[in-house]
Amino acid sequence: MTQRFIARSLRISTDVPNVNNKSSARGVDGVARYRCARGEAIARRLTIAAHACGSSVALGVADMIRECSSPSNVWTATDLHNADGEAFDGVGTLASCGSRLCLSCAAALCRRSRRRARVGLAGFSLRSGELFRFITLTMPTVPDASLIDTLRVIQRAWSLLRKRKFWLTCVRGGIKGVEFTVTANGYHTHIHLLVASKWIKHATLRSEWTHCLRAAWREHGLDIVFDTPSGEAIVDVRLIRAKHRGSSVAVSIESALEEVTKYVTKTESWDALPDAHLVEIAEVKRWQRLFEMFGDMRARVGAEKVAQPERATASVHAINLSDGDQLRIPYPEQPIKHRSASAPTLRTLMVTLDRPAWLKILAARFSERREHRRTSLRQLYPYARFATLSGDVFVGTELRSTLAA
Ligand SMILES: [Zn+2]
């Protein structure tokens, strides 16, 4: 029964709204301009912080975010289309910096996560005795711990929990998203989970998670204290229903999906970070997995990816496409196809070149990528009209032929 509700809910949510109207056009332009402004602001702040502590990596990342957020890189488009031929307006970037601190790239990453989550859920069948549940696992704030440290520890605790007999007995698969907020006492980092599971006893989950958190912090050299009435970590378990009916014990599937995939959208959180932590984030080369599918849910997504390769490489992130149609963001260090795989990465160049030479090669690489992306966008969306915020207009291949005739 629940499974049928879920499927219906997913069908509704993948409907693409009619967005070809004046208000949505203003919305797309507003989003594009907002992302430009936010990118420039974070780049400016990171530049100052990088100079202050002498971090050439953070300085280079700031330069890349600035390129990514520049008006010549951010576009809006009309008459894009999805696989069903439905048209929508969209916003995107030509080249991508790939930084977690960049709002445009974070939005794209979030959309990719949503897309994967929906594919995983849509193909998942509950077994007898199972229901979808929404779980939140919290961690106490630890003063003086950096964001990177708290993310490492919570990831470690999560990997311990997944191996516990209790967990393996109850949970068959699910979707995980890590979220953090900044408080006066430190980072409040927590995990949201959408799981397919048998009955989960709240008290058991709480003591198991507490055990894993303690072990993870101990490995990090810290014995933590849980300042709660139970003396244990706070966890929350709710049933997932097709629709939210005002119940305090259930959430809707849409709300649960939103929670497990929203971690990257809250880039405003960066505003509250100390400068030194901002530099630390910019310097991270490999991030912890903030979003992941696990267990049987992951296997479903793997199969879907093979079946629909063209969807995985679509190159538009459209703010109005509610099914999470997603593009692949090339990692900033990924070479353009015709470049030798052994060519130095941007991350190498930013620390080895002097500043004028670095800025010159960065501009050249972004220019190259923009041209490459323009060509693929024209082909992928033959009836669309694109305009960068700097006023550069280009159109899809079919529309260009029509205009030329
Ligand atoms: Zn970016």
- DSSP string of 95-131? S----TT-HHHHHHHHHHHHHHHHHHHHT--PPTT-E
- Residue 128 CA, ligand 1 centroid: distance in Å: 44
Residues pairing with 134 in the sheet: 194, 238
Q: Look up the pTM and report it.
A: 0.77
Angle at 380 between CA 374 and CA 384, to 5 degrees: 75
Share of the chain above pLDDT 90, in %: 49
- Residue 272 CA, ligand 1 centroid: distance in Å: 20
- Residue 309 CA, ligand 1 centroid: distance in Å: 24
- Residue 124 CA, ligand 1 centroid: distance in Å: 33
**C-alpha dihedral sign at 341, 342, 347, 353:** negative
| Cα-based distances in Å from 108 to 74, 99, 115 | 13, 11, 11
- Residue 341 CA, ligand 1 centroid: distance in Å: 22
pLDDT at residue 60 tops 80: yes
- Residue 219 CA, ligand 1 centroid: distance in Å: 34
The bridge status of strand 250-252 relative to strand 291-295 is unpaired
Please give the Cα distance from 125 to 257 (Å, whole number). 17
What pLDDT does residue 398 have?
85
- Residue 112 CA, ligand 1 centroid: distance in Å: 15
Please give the Cα distance from 61 to 288 (Å, whole number). 18
- Residue 9 CA, ligand 1 centroid: distance in Å: 32
Helix intervals (H) in 186-238? 202-219
- Residue 49 CA, ligand 1 centroid: distance in Å: 19
**C-alpha dihedral sign at 349, 351, 352, 356:** positive
Angle at 280 between CA 294 and CA 182, to 5 degrees: 70
Indicate the average pLDDT of the chain. 81
- Residue 69 CA, ligand 1 centroid: distance in Å: 7
Q: Which residues surround ligand 1, an ion (CB under 5 A)?
A: 68, 97, 102, 104-105
| Cα-based distances in Å from 300 to 9, 158, 297, 305 | 19, 21, 5, 9
pLDDT at residue 310 tops 60: no
Contact between 267 and 106 (Cβ < 8 Å): yes
The bridge status of strand 87-93 relative to strand 74-81 is antiparallel
Please give the Cα distance from 379 to 296 (Å, whole number). 36
pLDDT at residue 265 tops 60: no
pLDDT at residue 14 tops 70: no
What pLDDT does residue 112 have?
86
Please give the Cα distance from 306 to 214 (Å, whole number). 40
Which of 117-131, 210-224, 315-329, 387-401 is least confident?
Answer: 315-329
What pLDDT does residue 61 have?
96
Task: DSSP letter for 264, please.
Answer: G
What pLDDT does residue 6 have?
31
Please give the Cα distance from 316 to 374 (Å, whole number). 11
11's tokens:
């069908």
What pLDDT does residue 270 have?
79
Which of 17-21, 262-266, 309-313 is least confident?
Answer: 309-313
- Residue 345 CA, ligand 1 centroid: distance in Å: 16
What pLDDT does residue 5 have?
31
- Residue 109 CA, ligand 1 centroid: distance in Å: 10
> For residue 280, what pLDDT band results from cuts at 50, 70 and 90?
confident
- Which is nearest to 220 in space by CA: 144, 282, 290, 281? 144
